[in-house]
Amino acid sequence: MKDGLPGTLAAGLIIAGKDLRSELRRRTALVSAVVFAALILVIFNFARDPTALRAEQLAPSAFWITCAFAAVTALSRAFAVELEHGALDGLLLAPVPREALFVGKFLGNLTFVLVVESIALPLFVLFFNVSLKGALPGIMLVSLLATVGFVAVGTVFSAMVARTRFAELMLPVLLLPFMVPPLILAVKITVPLLAGRPLSEVTDGLRFLAIFDVVFVTLSVMLFSAVVDE
């Protein structure tokens, strides 16, 4: 294994590829997340009173709540395969930097969440009858920036609670404070984009999301080794 950043990234890509291939074979988490996302969108759509609340006002909140729950579903299974087969200890004993393990799990989780979001987006357009004309590039950028930060933090918390009895209950509680700021900002950015406003009007929000990502991805890399070694 090569030393340094290239070796860490290469090992991380191998781990991420292993996780994604495993999920493609099992499909349990992906199907659960997609069905759950569709269910939330349907409930929000039928609960809305069209005479009192326009779709453009409720749609961004519904979309991002859907993405948040789908992300928690993905992150709760981040270390499930290793725990089921007793491979986590072996993975930690392997001559691989802890940072590579984080990169692999992070990239795998990020890809999974982005796939679910890309599936939820057409459902979102269908149920709420909103137009993405001119807004799609901006929404894709917001989705990426809003997802990266809390997925990085969620990967660390997933490793922290993986061996506990109530991991699926503890993870959302721990992750919620770190999900709220980017999700609220993503909603506020999505509203003007759906209204046809140019991307230049939301550059401050995009800049904040980028700073949030840099800070929390860096902190997650630094803390991951201490978490998994406990």
Mean pLDDT in residue range 96-106? 81
pLDDT for the residue numbered 219: 92
pLDDT at 150 over 50: yes
Q: What is the 3-state secondary structure (H, E, C) of 156-168?
A: HHHHHHCCCCCHH
| 149: nearest Cα among 213, 69, 75 | 213
pLDDT in the model for residue 1: 43
Give tens-digit pLDDT for 5-23: 676 777 777 777 777 777 7
Token pair, residue 123, equals: 């459902």
- Provide the whole-model pTM: 0.83
Average confidence (pLDDT) over 109-115: 87
Question: At 49, is the pLDDT very low, low, confident or very high (cuts 50, 70, 90)?
Answer: low
Average pLDDT over residues 130-150: 87
Flag whether pLDDT at 173 surpasses 70. Answer: yes
For the chain, percent helix, then strand, then coil, each to nearest 5?
85, 0, 15
DSSP 103-135: HHHHHHHHHHHHHHHHHHHHHHHHHHT---TTT
